[in-house]
Chain A
Amino acid sequence: MTALLDIRDLHVTFRLGHGLIHPVRGVSLSVERGETLALVGESGCGKTTLARSVLGLQSIAGGQILFNGVDLAGLSRFQMRRFRPHIQCVFQDPFSSLNPRKRVEVLLREPLDVHGVGDRRERLRRVHEMMELVGLPTEWGKRFPHEFSGGQRQRIGIARALILRPDLLICDEPVSALDVSVQAQIINLLQTLKKDLNLSYLFISHDLLLVETFADRVAMMFKGEIVETGPARQVWQNPQHDFTRRMIDAIPVPDVTRPAPPAFRIDREPQ
């Protein structure tokens, strides 16, 4: 069986002044059906650029992006439209990714309008169904985004991404703007939705400690390349690449029975 998403030797380049920068350098990775793959790296490593190219928001310089065996990179804009409902995205900042002048009901209905799904009544039914699924009372549909807390707004973002019933959800740092207690709510919600709606996730994060708790596999990205992949727990317990080791050495686990992260020790010489 083919993987749901199979990226092969992907290259992305940007023109910058007279030069050329190369944020994604020959990345190959795959997301299986029903899998959560976490893509972990530090700022500027190219992880968001990679996600944008899968969504068709970023032109690529080389390689293939196979979705269900079809190369998205070779599709025309018109052909790409047919695939958009299958790949959706949840963004990092729930404050800037929702139009402040539209009511929640309208925000959630928009994807259905764009893709011409059902009639008016059917769309409203699906909006309410989705609100319940993500834990928002349906009577809040008439409210505007600013009336919601950060966690509630991220629920709206998730509902909007899921309303077209995609197969693959790309989550780009969906909880890094949220507090710890709210972060737990959203992670648990994503986990439940994955089971109930038969989803697969490409979960982009800088937080290896967080993804260790719920990702199936982890791909470590460093300077535009994937330097290590493996089962999440195995990467955490037995990192192979120097970059992964350096990151784990710097992560403070909230547990006083563990020794301080080696990178916190002042008796150690800086590397």
Chain B
Amino acid sequence: MSAAPILRVEDLHICVRGRPQAQILRGISFHVNAGETLGIVGESGCGKSMTSLAVMGLLPEGVEKTSGRVVFRGQDLAIDDNRAIRKIRARRIGMVFQEPMAALDPLYPVGKQVLEVIDEHLRLPRAEAWERVIDLLRRVDLPYPERLAWSYPGKLSGGQLQRVVIAMALACNPDVLIADEPTTALDVTVQAQIIRLIKALQRETGVAVVLITHNLGLVAHTADRIAVMYAGHKVEEAPTRDLFLTPRHPYTVGLLQASPNPDRNPGSDGRLLYEIAGTVPSITDPMPGCRFAPRCVSASAACRAAVPTMTGAGEHAVACFHPAQGVLA
């Protein structure tokens, strides 16, 4: 495992096209090392999917990047129109999306769709390319790959489809795999199979994994490091153990307490689960301070006046003026 970051995102800002006040990402930075799994956690609207699309250069029509860099092995990938850069992105960074059915064309056999990726990027002779397709399908543990390659997506289960999508993402031996809610549409037993597959492939190839999810349980048992996002900001980052045992941002604390956990007793107020009151602010809301302040139990005047920056000792950093101290009960 090398310590040099393989992928680095620096101070990424994204807004609605032509409306600079409607900010979707408000300065996101993170990195991932070879062989490592970084978990990015947040609820809907926090910008976690937009972050992955920005890394892949797949930002939708209506939004634009206003500043920030995406650096892969020291090379800036932000120059979107450069063909060579596009090639690096397509070959070196693989992506797995939430809905496997939406990522595949229902009118082509799945093997052909894996082949398309190989044809586009690797230029192998026909027979060799097809052999590679079969090999990939075998590596993602699909049964009878020679036969299954000729199946249409409609004939496969959700878990099998997600395996095909993972095979496509791995077709060019990428250095980074970005998995955006890869198991959210799947049953919990199938989720476990997909997670085990990703972990096994990571051990085999040393690929760096960025796992984007809303599921705290999933990152607790898969990620080495976790970044927590809220309303377009990264609010906390720490090694997985530290984040769960000594969370510092009030939002992280709230999320952990709101998650069902059979070992924790219900709160003293008689409520079953801890609630974070209120809702996420609109992206156009021009509030000057911390965007979590309106929902925060420890917010002060300072929080409403200025946006806190990331500070912290060692690998544990938090963007909060009044971070929690001590161990989560």
Contacts and interface: CB of A to CB of B under 8 A. Distances in A.
B220 A255 contact: yes
Interface of B: 43-44, 141, 158, 187-189, 191-193, 195-196, 199-200, 203, 214-218, 220-222, 240-241, 244-245, 254-256, 258-263, 266, 271-277, 279
A258 B244 CA distance: 11
Contact of B256 (A191, A206, A254): A254
Contacts of A252: 215, 217-218, 220-222
Contacts of A207: 188, 260
Contact of A210 (B189, B220, B222, B260): B260
A249 B192 CA distance: 9
B276 A181 contact: yes
Nearest to B204: A266
Contact of B274 (A149, A184, A236, A266): A184
- If over half of A's interface residues share one DSSP class (helix, strand or loop), that class is named, otherwise mixed; here it is helix
Contacts of B141: 270
A194 to B, nearest CB: 11
Nearest to A211: B260
Interface string A218-233: 0000000000000001
B214 A213 contact: no
Contacts of A173: none
25 contacts: A43-B158, A150-B44, A179-B43, A179-B44, A179-B214, A181-B258, A181-B276, A182-B43, A182-B279, A207-B260, A209-B217, A209-B260, A209-B262, A213-B272, A250-B189, A252-B222, A253-B220, A254-B215, A255-B220, A256-B241, A256-B244, A263-B189, A264-B195, A270-B193, A270-B196
A132 interface: no
Contacts of A270: 141, 193, 196
Given A256-B244, A256-B245, A261-B192, A187 B199 contact: no
A270 B279 CA distance: 41
A179 B231 CA distance: 13
Q: Pick from A179, A191, A263 the residue with the most CB of B within 10 Å.
A: A179
Contacts of B258: 180-181, 183-184
A44 to B, nearest CB: 9
Contacts of A210: 260
A68 interface: no
Given A151-B279, A179-B43, A255 B263 contact: yes
Q: Which 4 A-B pairs have the closest CB atoms?
A: A252-B217, A263-B192, A184-B273, A250-B192
A181 B200 CA distance: 32
B273 A188 contact: yes
A188 to B, nearest CB: 5
B222 to A, nearest CB: 7
Contacts of B245: 256-257
A246 interface: yes
Contacts of A257: 245
A182 B271 CA distance: 14
A265 interface: yes
Contact of A264 (B43, B199, B244): B199
Interface in A173-221: 179-185, 187-188, 191, 206-210, 212-214
Contacts of A188: 271-273, 275
A4 to B, nearest CB: 22
Contacts of A208: 188
A181 B41 CA distance: 13
A180 B192 contact: no
B262 A236 contact: yes
Given A212-B260, A236-B262, A255-B244, 15 more contacts: A42-B187, A42-B188, A180-B255, A181-B276, A182-B279, A187-B272, A214-B272, A233-B262, A252-B217, A253-B217, A256-B220, A256-B241, A263-B193, A266-B196, A270-B193
